[in-house]
Amino acid sequence: MKHLPFLFISLLLTQSLILAEDSNDLDKVLEEMTAIATKTKLNADYVPGTVTVISGEKLKSLGITNLAEQNAFDTIVGFDSSTLSLRGAGATYGAQGNKIKWMINDKPISAEIWGLPKLGAGQVVYPIPTDAIERIEIVRGPGSAIYGGNAIYGVVNIVTKKGADSLFTTLSRMESNKFGKSLGAYGSFEKNDLKVSTIVSVDESDGWDLTATSQSRAQQGNLPNASGSNLFMADASYKNIDFWAYRLEAKNNYARLQWDPTNYLPADNTKPVQSNTYTILGVQGKYNVLSDVLLTAKTGINYYTNRAEVVFFPAISGIRNIDYAESTKYAEGTVETTFGSHRLLGGLYAGYLSVDQDDVRQTWNNVRHLLTANNPKRINKALYVQDEIQFDDKSTATIGARYDTYSDGRKALSPRLAFVYLYDDSNIFKAQYSRAFRPPSLSEQYSPNNTDSNKMYESETADTFELSYIFKTNDSSLKTTAFHSKTHNMISYHDFTYETINLESPTTINGLEIELTKNYEKINLGANMAFYKSYRGDVKLSRNGLALNYNASEFALSAKFIGNVFATLNSDTSYPTTLWYHYTGSKNRISNDLLDDNGNIIRIYTTNGSTPAQDYVNITQKINGIAKDLDLEFGVKNLFGKTLRTLYYPLNPPNTYDVPYMGQTFWVNLLYKF
C-alpha cells in the first residue's frame, strides 16, 4: 500500500483513469450549472475556485444509500469522512466539520456544539437518502466572501430532487445478524401557479460488531453503533414566492460520538443514545424591480436540538443526560443586475443566534447549565458585493468582498479576487486569492473546561491562493488544483485539557488535488486524489504547575494522501456494474512533551506513532427496468470486511487504541417510479 500514491501518478500520466461523476452522461456533468461559487448560475468549470458536482445517482452507484453513513462524503476530493474535514485539516484542526459551510438547497445549516470534544456533543449528520438527492455541489477552499463564517475549508450544498414521484426502500445486513432497513418517497404536486415537492423517509440500523478496547479500564468488547433517522422535507412555490419546511432527525450511538478510550466501554445495545434534530423554516421572494434588476428577499428560522443519554461509569450507573437547543433567525436580501461586461451581486444579511437550553444532568453531581449560564447570544450583520467582469470571450474576473460584524465585538473582512481564462474549448486556467474566517462557537467560548471564562477568543482567518487547470474533451477530463493556505489564530482544542485555544503561530496547508475521467465504449473510468502537507507551530499551555507543550508538527489526524478510483462496466446498458476503491493514508498523532515550571522535561511521548492507512472496496450492480417502472440496485460495501478505525480524542498515549467506526454491509435497494 505504501506505493499506492506512485501508482496513482503513473495512471495519471497514462491518461487511463476517469469518472468521478455521472458515468451515463459525461457531457451533462461537464456542463453542470451551479450557483455555489458565486450565487449566480455559471458552468461549474467556469466558476472561480475549485468546484466539484456529484449526482445522487452516482453516489448510490458507489454504495452510498444515505448521507448519514459513516463514509458518505469519501467520494469528494480531499474529504476525510471519519474526521469530517476537507483539505488536510484533520480532526482537531478541522474541528469535526464545523469549519465547512454546510447547506441544504442553498439554506445554511450549523450548530454551535459541532466539534466540541465531549461525549454527547452534536455531530454533523444529514439523514438524506441518496434516492432523493439531485446532486451535491462542493467548493473546496474558502467561501466567506459570499457565505460568511465557517467556510474556511469548503462549502457543501446538498440539492434534493423536485418534480418527480418515486417510492424507494433499502435493506442491509451487517455482521452477526445485524440489519438495517429504510423506506422513503418523494413526490410533487402542481396546479396552476402552485408547485409542491415533498420527501419523507425513515431509517434504522443495528450497526456492526466493532471490537473496541478501553486501555485505561482494561476492557474489551463491542462498541455500540446503532443509528436511525426520520426525514420530512417540503418545498412549495406560488408564483414568485418559495416556501420550505424541513425536519431532519439523526440518531446515533458511540461510534459516532467520538468515544474516548479512557472511559468505560459502554454496554452493547442496538438503541441509539443521541439524536440531533434540525428544523428549517423559511420563505423567499424574487422580484424583477426593473427589467435587468432582480431582487431576492429571504427570511427564516433554523432550530437545532441535541438530546443524549450517555453512560460514563457503568459500575455506578453513571449516566449523563444532555438537553440542548439553539435557534437562528435571519433575513437576507440580494440584488443582481447586469450592465455591459459586468454582472453585479450585492447583499445584506442579519442573523440572531441564541442558545435556548443547555442542561446537563449527571447521576454523580447536580444539574449544570453550561452555556445558558452565560446567556449566550450573538447578532451577526453582513454586507457583501461581487462583480463578475467579462473581459472578452475568453477571460473573466471575479472581485468581491464581505464585511461581517458580531455583537460581541468581532469583525471580519473577507475579500476575493479570481480569474478564469479559456484558452480554447479544451483548456481552462484559473487563479484565485480568497480569505475566510470563523468566530469561535459559543460552545468554544463558554466551554466549562476553559479556565478563564472572561477570555475572548480571536476569530481564525485563512488566506488561500489557488491555481487550477482543466482539460476536457468529449470523452475525458483532467482537473487539477494546487493551493497554499495560511491560517492565523486557528481555533483548536488541547487534547489533554479539552480547552479551546488560539494557536499563536500561523498554520499552513499546501495541497495538490486532481480529478480525472475517461470514457470508453464499454467502460467508464475515473479517479481523484489529494496530496497535503500541513504545518502547525509549537503549542504551549501551562496548567497546575506543569507545561503541556506540543512540538511543531503536521496537523494531527490529517492524511497526507487521499484517493479514489472508480470503474463502471456496461455503462450504456440497463445493467451497469460499478466498483469503487477508496484509500486514506496514515495520520500522525500529536507529539506532546510534559514539562515542569522550570522547563525541565518530565516525560516525552515518543510512541505516538500514527493511525494506519485505511482502504476499502465497494461493488454495486444495477438493473434498470427489472419490472415495469422498477429499478433494482444491490451491492456490498467494504468488500473484504475490514474494520475501519480512526482515533478521535485524546490523541496522546497511553490512549493510542484506534476507535472502530465501520464494517462490512450487504445491501439491496428498490426504486419505483410512478
Note the pLDDT tens digit of each residue in 360-383. Answer: 888 877 666 667 677 789 999 999
What is the domain partition of the chain in residue ranges?
Answer: 4-673
**133-140 vs 154-160, strand pairing mode:** antiparallel
Contacts of 196 (CB under 8 A, 6+ apart): 188, 189, 190, 234, 235, 236
Per-residue confidence (pLDDT) for residue 35, from 0 to 100: 62
Rg (CA), the chain: 24
What end-to-end distance do the CA atoms of the chain give, in Å? 46
Rounded to 5 degrees, φ, ψ at 26 are -60, -40
| Cβ pair 176, 155 in contact under 8 A | no
Residue entry with cell 457503568: 314
**Angle, CA of 321, 325 and 331, to the nearest 5°:** 170
pLDDT tens string 601-613: 666 555 567 888 9
The span from the CA of 157 to the CA of 416, in Å, is 20
* Sequence letter at residue 312: F
**Angle, CA of 37, 59 and 479, to the nearest 5°:** 45
The span from the CA of 314 to the CA of 317, in Å, is 5
Give the 3-state secondary structure of residue 423: coil
pLDDT tens string 450-502: 767 678 899 999 999 999 999 999 899 999 999 999 999 999 887 777 788 89
- Work out the percent of the chain whose per-residue pLDDT is above 90: 60
Residue 29: enclosing H or E segment and its boundaries? helix 26-30
364, burial (CB in 10 Å: exposed 0-12, middle 13-18, buried 19+): exposed
What CATH homologous superfamily does 4-673 map to? TonB-dependent receptor, beta-barrel domain (2.40.170.20)
Give the 3-state secondary structure of residue 7: helix
The span from the CA of 251 to the CA of 584, in Å, is 26
What predicted TM-score, i.e. pTM, was given to this entire model? 0.92
Per-residue confidence (pLDDT) for residue 12, from 0 to 100: 33
Contacts of 225 (CB under 8 A, 6+ apart): 207, 208, 210, 252, 253, 254, 255, 256, 661
Q: Which of 178, 71, 218, 161 is nearest to 584 (CA)?
A: 71
pLDDT tens string 262-284: 778 887 777 898 999 999 999 99
pLDDT tens string 390-407: 898 889 999 999 999 999
Q: Which of 8, 2, 3 is nearest to 512 (CA)?
A: 8
| Cβ pair 351, 379 in contact under 8 A | yes
**How far are the Cα atoms of 116, 253, 285, 411, 456 from residue 548, in angstroms, in the given order?**
20, 32, 54, 31, 22
All 3 cell numbers of residue 634?
Answer: 444491490
**546-550 vs 561-569, strand pairing mode:** unpaired
Taking phi over 0 as left and psi of -120 to 50 as alpha, with beta for the rest, 49 belongs to left
| Cβ pair 659, 261 in contact under 8 A | yes
Question: How large is the average pLDDT for residues 305-323?
Answer: 81
* Sequence letter at residue 471: F
**How far are the Cα atoms of 121, 357, 561, 674 from residue 488, in angstroms, in the given order?**
26, 32, 24, 54
| Cβ pair 220, 227 in contact under 8 A | no
pLDDT of 504 > 60? The answer is yes
Of residues 447 and 395, more confidence is placed in 395
pLDDT tens string 130-185: 999 999 999 899 999 989 999 999 999 999 998 779 999 999 999 888 999 999 99
**101-104 vs 154-160, strand pairing mode:** parallel
Q: Report the length, in residues, of the chain.
A: 674
* Sequence letter at residue 167: L
Question: How large is the average pLDDT for residues 187-194?
Answer: 92
